[in-house]
Structures are given as C-alpha cells and as structure tokens.
Structure 1
C-alpha cells in the first residue's frame, strides 16, 4: 500500500506541532479547515468531503474517531488539532476501509501514541513567539513495577491572534487551551498485554480572522427565484410581478387616479415627509418624488443603490474577478448582542471544546496468532458562536450559536494468525455508535424588505398589464417600496422569543472484515481484503410548519423577519373614519398594528398597540417548528486486492485494485434557514443524498537506495469516482 510514515524524531526535528503541519510533509495531502477551527478536514489525492462524513479516516491507536459536524461542513471534532505524545504518524493513501474502518474512503491518517518507557524519562519544552503565543509541553514516563509502566503528558497554550476586529478593537484568530493524557502499560504475563489511555482536552478558539469581501457587480438570480420569472426588470422580457411594481412606483401624484388607476393621495407608492417642521407632526406623501422608499434619496442597505422608484428582485450583488488582497480587507465581525455569557456585548466567542476519551487495547498471544480487543469511549462537549455574515449591519444580523455533546463508543475484536508458512489471515468485527446532539439558539434577524399592495389586471392572451389599482383606503397598507430599521434594540426580544431547537444524529455501524495474505514465493505476495458494513442513521431536526399553517413558504427556526415584506418598517396607514382623509401612521416595531378610531367632535384617536412585534409571530421565528425524524440504512461490501513483488532487497513494486463506498445521509447545512423539510411534504427528498462510490487502480514502487540515504517512492493511480456530492441551489415555491 502507499503509506508515508513520520516518526517522532522527524516531528521534533521539523517542528511539527499540529495537524496542519503534518500535511506539509506529504504532497498528496491538503489541510482544510471547516466552519470552525476544530472542524478538521483532510483532502487526499484530490478527494474531499464537500458534504457528509470525512473521506480520510482519523485513527488513534487503531480506533476510528472520525466524526461529522452537524449543520456545517466540518469533519472530526474528537481530536485536538495540537499533537502530543505521538510516536509516529502513518499516512495511508487510497481506499483502506478493510484495515482502517468505515471512514477510510480515500485513505487514513493513524496517530500511534508513545507507550511507557523502560527507563525513567522526563522532557519539557516552552515556545514563545510574537502576538502573544505561548506553549508549554511536559512528558514523563517510568516503570512502576516489572509489569506496569506509566506515561503522563500535558500541554498548555495560548495565542492572542494576528488580526483585530475593527468593530470592537479586540484580537481575533487566537485562542487558548490545555490537554493531558495518562497511559498505563500492563503486561501481567508474557502472553497478555493491556494498554489503557485516558485523554482530556479543553480548547477555546476565538472567532477566525475572516473578513467580508466587498461585492463589485450585480448579477441575475435564477429565474425561478424571482417574481420577474425569467427576465430583468428593465427588459421587455420581464412580465412578472416586478414589472407591475415598477410601473406603480414610477408613477407620481400628478398622474392622478384617471391616468394611473390609483387612488389620489392614498396610493401606495408615494414617498413620505413630515407635514410640518415640528416634532410630532404627521407623515404625509411627498408629491414631488416618485415612490419606492421613505424618501426619494434613501440608500438600499442591501444593494447599496438608491431606491429611485424601482423594484428589481432579479439583481443581487456578486463578486467577479480576483479576490482582493488580504491587506486591503478589514475584519468587521458583529458583537454578541443578546446571547448570555461573559462575552455579551463583545466579540462572538468562537468555538469551545472539552471532554475525555478512554481507550483500552488488549492483546493475547494464542501461540498460532494474536487475539486483540480495542475498546473506546469518548464524551466531548462542543460549542460554537460566530458572526456568519462577517458584517456589522444595523438592519440585518446573522449569527451562529450552537452547543451540545458528542458521544462515541466502539468495540473491535480481531484474530490474526502469525504462522511461518505462506498463508496468514486476520478476521475481525467492529461495532461503532455515535450520537451527536446540537442545540441551536442562533438567529437570522431581518429588519428590511419590499412591500407593495396593489391589484394588477392583465390581458389573458398577451399577459400585458391593462390596469393597476389599489384596493381602496380601507385596505391601504402604506406606500410601496423598500424600508429598513435598526434591529439592535430588538435583538434581546428576538432571542427571548427564540425557542432552542435540537438536531440529533444517531449513527450505528456494524462490520465484519477479513484479510488474507499469501506468499507465492520469497518475492511475490498477494493480499486480499474484504469488509462488510451495515449502517443506520437517524436524524432528528426542526421542520418548518409554514406551509402547513397556510403560509407562503417554510423557513428555519432561526429566521425572524421584523418588518419589510409583510409590513413596512417606517409607516403604515388606515382610514380613520368614513369621509376622513387618509393619514400615515407610524409603525411601532413591537406592534402589528395601531388601533385607530374617529369620533365626531373629538377627532382621530390612536390607542396603544395590542400586538407585539411587526412580525406576526411576536419576535419569534417566522414559522412554527416541529421536530421531524428521517432514517436511512445501507449495507455494502468493499473489496481490495494487492500484489507485491520484491525486485531486490531494496526495491519493491506493487499493484492494487480497490472499491470504496461512502454511505448516503442527510444534508443539514440549510436547516437553520429553511428547516429540515423545506417543501413540507414530510419526505426527505430535499435533504437526502445518495451513497458515493469509488474504484481505484494503482501501480507503484518503493525503494531505499544509496545505503539507506535515499528513499524513492512513487505511484500512478486512476480513480473512478461516481455520485460525488456537490452543492446545488434549489428553489421552493419561487
């Protein structure tokens, strides 16, 4: 097999401290950090896990601890990125499922830890660098009795970070943490050996130093996602809702009822102005400007353009060309406004991880072979809090706030023969069970949007607009256009009304495997590997009930719309009484409407609001949520055959053929915004993905030349990868 071994001496000599450093020693490996600093993903030979479980197994002393993040694209969260007490690292390329477990779809990285020493030893190191970096390591080992040895390791580190959040003036990209392990090597007899290892880790990583890249052009969104239904608003091909809205908002009061079909002085497109220069004056239409905003010069905070009397939902900002140099960008991450904790009013805390691992490796010499038992249990608590949009905006906030446990248990039994003859084999069984729970209180709060309430009459044959009319003063809902507000004062209310929602993934995997090794002669050897896997995954998450409750769409548990599309953010209107002039009444965000009555001789009376929030859900998520569980199960076989030929004592060539499979599952990346069942049909059609499969043929050689001074290895391989997961955009109820 194609394997690269990095010894502890090499790691010390080359200053390898963490997982990212490891990938620098092998050209076929690429280190990829996921959504959080502890979401470790490794790409091998160009194969990556865009979604789902990792494609490269993370193995510690024979145990596959590869996990999968929920609602992000990250991978293993059970290993600390900082390495301690490692004896060697084995980087194995190509499918290795039979030997290294269920996750070794494209390869595996095994970390072999140091055992107890035969003589007492103590090592310690301290590293200090700029920007507040400090790291201290300590290791000691000694025999306790003739049959028992012990090793203890500890690590403490902290780092301020290189970059500064311009919003708060605090450093980002740093962190602090500690980890420790204690190991017992017990050999009560010559045949029995038991190694017990206990790890503990506590790492805190500040928010990554990520900056928002400014947009530089406008692009069209997919046709199904726009009211324009396929064309640009300013094109003749656009004959959807947007065309009607633009015609409404291009009108002026001077057009009058006869010309525009809209009620004079009560039409829904007029921009507003105070009726007098004194405080408390009513807001009235400004007859000198066209509509689409509270005033004719207001800037759309989403697009950065002047409203100017147009409604264009086909245009959205995008980036074209090269990404700007990092020196020209600034970190502008929002603060934690509403979530409780020591960081309230300051930077988002980033990510935290703390927990323990227990591993017991037992080996018993049967004479004709070795029986092994590997028991592993892990209990880790992970929390993350980030500013997702990487901007500090008044009208929009999108934040990530999750926490929960990851529990993993596995038990493996293996029997391996060790005869002097040409035939040897190994058989084994593995039970692997992971349960991950993630509680989310993140929020996506929006205080902006467009609203226009008119009636459109079209020609049944051509689709041309025949007339535009409002629905009269009794139904008037304010002028057409985009409005927005500062949402910060309402974020405490939205957090208080945001019910936590749990996402729970329960994965059970059972497998049987076998390896057969046969020596035809002193030079030629054949190895055949086979693993049978049976796996089941249950995933429970929040499903929006927006469509079921008669709404227009489904949205996730974190989505809150204060105002904009369902009600204007600055003013609304109503008829105070029969024959009375229509007045513009201010919206009190925190109210759904104002109770207004007209009494002869008294005049207009406005009473306090009877509803909380401009959003009909009283600051809560836009749609009701209910838990929903989907289940997927699969079983499969992954074979591999390998031929090795020793040309000489120092040169070996090999050829192999392997098949690998990565089971299907459920995509959880969009559940926060759209819920677990976006179209509301109770089926996992939108979130389920199929298994991935790969067939790999490889030819290679290994050699040690110049009396061991030169190592020359190489490989040529062909990967036939089918059904690879990729990201697509899908529109529901567009």
Structure 2
C-alpha cells in the first residue's frame, strides 16, 4: 500500500477523488462567504449557537476549535436520547456500548482504547463525571457539546482526545412545563415531565422527572448442560431507569449568581445482548498437527528463544476469525438468540444507583474581574451479574484421573466426570464517590485582552468486590452434585473427595479499594494582535496519585504521575462571515495501575499517554447566512499508548497469565472533518457531515523475558505478525481498532403550514460508519454500519405528535467486537481463541406525544 503524507492512496480507487472533491467544495463555500452580497435581504438563516466549550459563553462560529453542538431544539428534532445518538450524528466521534449502558468508551478522532479509562471526558455543566452515565433525560438538557481535540489545558484529566459536556436547563423568567410520553416496539416506554420558572424575584428552579424502560432485544436460549438439562428462554437487552434532575438558580446579589444541580438516577438493566463466535468458526491462522501452518520459532539467541513453550501454538492452535463478522450467522449457530447463562446467580444484569451534585458560583469582583467556583460530588453504587463467557461456555468437563485438575479419591478405575467452572460468570459490586473543586479568576481589562488563572483539586474513592463462578464461594459439581455452596467460603466435599479441589480456572481475587487524587494549576490568555488576528495560549500542570489496596491480603500498589500540558491558538477573521484558525495542543491520559494480584512488579505502573495535536480549521457563512461551513484538518502524534499485552508469572506455585496494560504503542492520525448546513428554503434544511479518520499504529511491541513462560497471546501475535530480528513481535502499519475510518451523515428536514396554527414535519437522518476492527491485527471486523432514522408528524403551539422509525432499514451490523477466549476442556491450555460481538438494536417503530403548558 502506498501512502502520501496525509491520505491513503490505493485503499479504494475512488477515495482520493472524493476527498479532494469534499475539500474543494468546502473551500469554495468558504470563499463564497468572503464576499457577501451588497444588498442585504431578509433571509432564513442557519441557527446561531452559543457554547461554553472554553468555559465562557462564546459564539460557536468564533472559537478556534471544532465543536459539535446540539441545542435543545436539535436534540428534540432528531429524537436524540443517548450518547450513542450524539455520536451517530457527529462524524469523527465513535461510540459503541459493547457491554451495555455501564460501558463508557467514547472515541474522538480515532483515539480508541482497548482497556483502561476512556480517552475522552464526560462533564455535566463543566463538572467531570468519572463513572459513565446511563442517561440524562432529553427534557433536562439545554445543550450538548462535543469538543474535539485535546482539552487537557482547560478541562484537565481524561480529555486526551476531547470532551463531552452536558448543559442542563435552567429556569427562565416565566413558568414553563412540558410532558412527554413515548411508546415503541418491544415494550419501549418513556415518560418525562419538566417544569421550570421563578420562585421569587431572585430564585428560579427547574425540575425534570423521567422514567424509561424497554423489553429485551433478543431471546436468550441457554440449552442447559450436564449439570442442568432443563432448557429455558429469557431475554437479553432490557433496560429500565428512573431519574429526577433539579437545578436551582439564585441571584444572591447584583454581582453574585449561584447555580446548583442535583441528579438522582436508578437503573436496572438485563444482561447486555452479546454473542460469541465459536472457535470452530475460526477461518485463519489455525495450527493443526500436520497442517499447512506451523508455529514460528523466534530467532536464536534472543530472550524469546529462551522462553518456555514459545514454539507451541497459542490457544491450542485454534486460530483466528478473519473478515466481516456476520451477526445473522452467529445467531443462527445459537438457535436464533443469545446463549448466556443468566440464572447461575440469583439475579442477572446491572443495577446502578447514582447521585450527582454540582455547585457553581459566579461573582463579579470588579468590572473587569470575575471569580468562578465549580464544586462537584458523585456517588455511584453498581451491582453487575454477568455471563462473561458471552456464549454459555463456563463449564469444563475433564475426566477425573486423566489430566483432571481435581484429585479424586476412593473411586475405582473408572472415575466420575468432574465438572469445573472456568470462572467467567461474575458478580461485581462497586461503590464509587468523588469530589472535585475548581477555582477560576477571569480578567477582562479591555476588549483586546483577557486572561484566566485557576486551580483544581480532585479525589475519588472506590471499593470493589468480585466473585467468579470458579471461586470456592461459587459452585462446582461432580456427577451433577453440587459440592460448593454459593457465597460461602466453606468447602463441603463429598466423602472420598479431596479438599484441595475447587479453585482451578478461577481468576485471582481483585477485591480491594482505590484512592485517586489529582491537583493542578492552569491558565489561559487571549489577545487581539491586530484588527483581524487573535492569538491565545493555555497551559496546565497536573499531578495524579494512585493507591490501591487488595482486600484479600492487605497488599498495596501505588503510583504518581505529573504532566505539563500547553496549547497555542490563533484565529484570523477574514471578514464578518469567515475565519480560519490554527491550534497546537498537548493532551494526556492519566497513568494507571495494573491491580491484579500477582502481576509482575515491573508491570504494575502504567505511565500516562501523550498526544500532540495540530489542527487547521475554517468556519464561514455564505449565501446570506443560509450556508454554514465548518472544516477541520488535523494531525495527531500519539505516544506511550496504553495497549493490552499478556504477561506470565508464577503465583503460589502456579503459572498464571495476566492481561495487562503497557505503554507499548505509538500511532499517527490525520483526518479531515467537514460539516455543511444549508437552509435550502424556509421549509427545507439539509446537512451533510463527513469525517475521514486515517489512523495507523506505527509501533506496537510485544516481548517475553528470557526464562519466562510465553503466554498464548504472545505466541498468537508471533504467528500473525512474525518475529523481528530482536525476537520481539512488532505490529505496525495497521489501522487503530474500535474506530471507523469513514463516517458521514446526511440529513433532511422539511416542514410546512396547515390550517390554524398546525404544521407538519418530516425528517430523515442517514448515518454511515465504516468497519471497525476488533484488535490491532486488523483481522475480524464489524462491516459497514448504515442507520436510517425517519421521523414525521404534526405540531401546533403546544402539542407535538410524532411517528418515528429508528434503524428503519433494520441494519444488523454489530456495533463492537472484542477479541476474546472460549473455554476448552484441555487442562493444560483451557482456552481457545474466539471473538465476542455486541448485538445491535433492531428496527424500532414508535410514537411520541409532547405537550407544553
């Protein structure tokens, strides 16, 4: 494959032409904005949006960075109810909840993560939310802002690739209220009530009460096993949540304003719908005895050559899946539904209770100085019971006495079959709380200069307990007889059985607690260097500290990380309707810890990721403010990526394999983003948005120490990518996983008058996301995802009646894949390679009624 400096050449014959055409059209539109007509006319114009992306209110068209902003009206018009909907409408922003609503892994401009914390941060009214949110009701939102590119200088931790900020509705000068009810297929029901208004001359309040639920997306068909032969059918993918959101605004004096918000939410979701490609379906890189493909040997004299088992095939030679994963094929192999063991524990699914509090104080110290305080507190309790085999395969059936992990005594030459658990049926019990405090002083001495100074403090505490089905507190059977009691540490063996049995295959305990603290100082300055040129600079110094204590033995691990994060901006105002800008920024993702007991000491601390981003952009209005153009071209140099590797160690006399994060990756990303909105007539608005995210891993290094055991993951990597001369496995020249190279949106909205104050409206939104790879090897992928949403109805002054169809074409592309394993009956290597796939939401038709009074 041949490359130019920025865009692939040769991957698809038509792409270079398409890219040049898009860029040419954008520049032409911008140039058109430079010379507006001399005679102004009364025209329908594209909506003007005010945002707080830089922590002050600014016109979206005048800031030197890329922001996708969704106003209250646009959220309502598009039927946006989740972060997934926001991502679908924002090319350059990928989001797929692989593990239900508890999973928060947004991807902005290709900066995906495989394990570890997200690379983009989530905020509510500027206050960080570290635990992903299930939902915020549409009726409570005034605006959503997706800020692209590193925002570490102003937003701080967790904004390596960008930030998502939810802005809540506040009270106006008049009392307003709104009730919304919605019904759809598969038992979808949503009800929201919002009321806001003044309580006195100086106090206002806004309250939103909401409930949402839907039935399961897929039948769950678990056929039983030797332990339980009864078949049962349930559903997976059901969701339910109830919430109340309140915002209180107080004008304490002519110079002091106070705003407080409180959000309370309870969610109860079923097991998320996910399936597993059985290892028997793997179609590449199989290593079989006497087969055409053999496991390669590392170069002589390298540490890898001295590693144990390095020449035996990883994952029993079970191979890999190459190509597009077809959801219908996988479902057909499972009898038409998911195959998840959801009744192993008393309940299955995820329950979450959350309380999120925020307080903002703005005080005018003088005519030129403003003081701002932001205080946040979050308390979240999560209980999750899940089948993490993804395919009902937690039971192993080796025969006792023939390589069995159990020592069975008192039986003759034909011992019974022993059924042991791998340990992938899990319960996680997590309690999290955090506190954040930010102080800012903004100085505006004149119209040409402003600067900000600030300080920030953050701390969090988290405790977690876990149980796996292979734990002695869980259940193991021999000949169908239960010999371990659930949730009890006592072992009750049958007569003649060894009391040493029962822990084989179970993951080590990770129960414990973690404390994180972060402190930083930051500043920003912006000044007008000439009539048309504005220059700016931002910077932040940040320090993070981590302390983790394991409950099992009281052992602890800790780490600290610090960073200096600058940003430079420039914008040139060509005229009142067009500007160009440039910014260069360094972002980082906080370091972390590999917390598993037994992880080698040298692999515990994971350093920060770092990225240097360059962005050139253009914003313009043309054709009497009816055509709005936003264009951005960027380059990201990404270093010290936290990528998944496998490490082997001996713990308690037993060989263990660990999946760990390491700073072993480097990548380069370049891209183009174009967003065109055209008010065709007073009744027709169209939008086309496009993003090319050309991301490539430049270097991903995997190695094994001399004398250590070579984990299956390393041997698999060697089979796929081969060895370097040093014996390492180096992956390069491949696309970043979990992100689409090409995304685009095409929207059309029509409306017209009827009799009286009634009007009609129609809307179509078409979203395209190209394939996403499961892992760095670029073998298994999702295929292209194409979603068409249709909406139409009638409205009057206070009533909206709407009929809608989400995913109208019933696209069945998996939104996310995960490289995974499947249980094997082999005791010496209990896992085969498999691929997990999140199942998509099916087409859903429904109706919404909204009444304002």
CA deviations on 1:8-29 (whole Å, 9 max, x unpaired) are 1000011001111011121000
More strand per residue: 2
Q: Which residue of 1 aligns with 2:219?
A: 164
Maintained 8 Å contact 1:122/1:139: yes
Kindly state the Cα deviation for residue 496 of structure 1 after the two structures are TM-superposed.
4.2
Does residue 197 of structure 1 match 2:257?
no
Kindly state the Cα deviation for residue 61 of structure 1 after the two structures are TM-superposed.
0.7
Q: Aligned to 2:91, which of 27, 32, 49?
A: 27
Does residue 408 of structure 1 match 2:434?
yes
Q: Aligned to 2:128, which of 64, 73, 88?
A: 64
- Kindly report which structure 2 residues correspond to 1:447-526, keeping only aligned pairs within 5 A, or say none: 489-490=482-483, 492=485, 496-497=489-490, 502-526=511-535
CA deviations on 1:520-564 (whole Å, 9 max, x unpaired) are 12210001000011111112236xxxxxxxxxxxxxxxxxxxxxx
Does residue 152 of structure 1 match 2:207?
yes
Distance 1:117 1:714 in 2: 35
Unaligned runs of 5+ in 2: 1-64, 223-231, 289-294, 299-304, 397-420, 491-502, 650-654, 656-708, 710-853
359 and 445 in structure 1: CA distance in 2 versus 1, 3 angstrom threshold: closer
Does residue 119 of structure 1 match 2:40?
no
Maintained 8 Å contact 2:153/2:522: yes
Distance 1:508 1:175 in 2: 34
- Kindly report which structure 2 residues correspond to 1:196-595, keeping only aligned pairs within 5 A, or say none: 196-215=260-279, 216-217=281-282, 219-220=286-287, 315-322=316-323, 324-328=325-329, 329=331, 330=334, 331-337=338-344, 339=345, 341=346, 343=347, 349-366=348-365, 367-393=367-393, 394-395=395-396, 396-397=421-422, 398-444=424-470, 489-490=482-483, 492=485, 496-497=489-490, 502-541=511-550
The count of corresponding residues between Structure 1 and Structure 2 is: 508
Does residue 653 of structure 1 match 2:566?
no
Maintained 8 Å contact 1:646/1:652: yes
Kindly state the Cα deviation for residue 491 of structure 1 after the two structures are TM-superposed.
5.0
Unaligned runs of 5+ in 1: 68-75, 222-227, 232-237, 243-310, 344-348, 447-483, 543-624
Q: Aligned to 2:82, which of 18, 25, 37?
A: 18
381 and 522 in structure 1: CA distance in 2 versus 1, 3 angstrom threshold: same
Does residue 666 of structure 1 match 2:675?
no
Q: Which residue of 1 aligns with 2:607?
A: 690
Distance 1:78 1:513 in 2: 27
493 and 184 in structure 1: CA distance in 2 versus 1, 3 angstrom threshold: closer
Report the structure number with the largest CA radius of gyration: 1
Q: Which residue of 1 aligns with 2:47?
A: none
| 517-526 or 489-498, which deviates more | 489-498
| 83-92 or 115-124, which deviates more | 83-92
CA deviations on 1:248-267 (whole Å, 9 max, x unpaired) are xxxxxxxxxxxxxxxxxxxx
Distance 2:357 2:315 in 1: 55
Say what the alpha-carbon RMSD is for the aligned residues.
2.9
Maintained 8 Å contact 1:96/1:107: yes
Q: Aligned to 2:569, which of 636, 642, 654?
A: 642
Kindly state the Cα deviation for residue 690 of structure 1 after the two structures are TM-superposed.
2.0
Distance 1:100 1:177 in 2: 29
143 and 493 in structure 1: CA distance in 2 versus 1, 3 angstrom threshold: closer
Does residue 43 of structure 1 match 2:107?
yes
Maintained 8 Å contact 2:375/2:436: yes
172 and 677 in structure 1: CA distance in 2 versus 1, 3 angstrom threshold: same
Residue 253 of structure 2: SS of its match in structure 1? coil
Distance 2:556 2:486 in 1: 30
TM-score norm. by structure 2 comes to 0.56
129 and 724 in structure 1: CA distance in 2 versus 1, 3 angstrom threshold: same
Q: Which residue of 2 aligns with 1:716?
A: 633
195 and 313 in structure 1: CA distance in 2 versus 1, 3 angstrom threshold: closer
Kindly state the Cα deviation for residue 627 of structure 1 after the two structures are TM-superposed.
3.3
Q: Aligned to 1:176, which of 223, 231, 240?
A: 240
Greater relative contact order (Cα 8 A, min sep 6): structure 1 or 2? 2
Distance 2:341 2:618 in 1: 53
Does residue 677 of structure 1 match 2:598?
yes
Does residue 726 of structure 1 match 2:643?
yes
Residue 91 of structure 1: SS of its match in structure 2? strand
Does residue 6 of structure 1 match 2:70?
yes
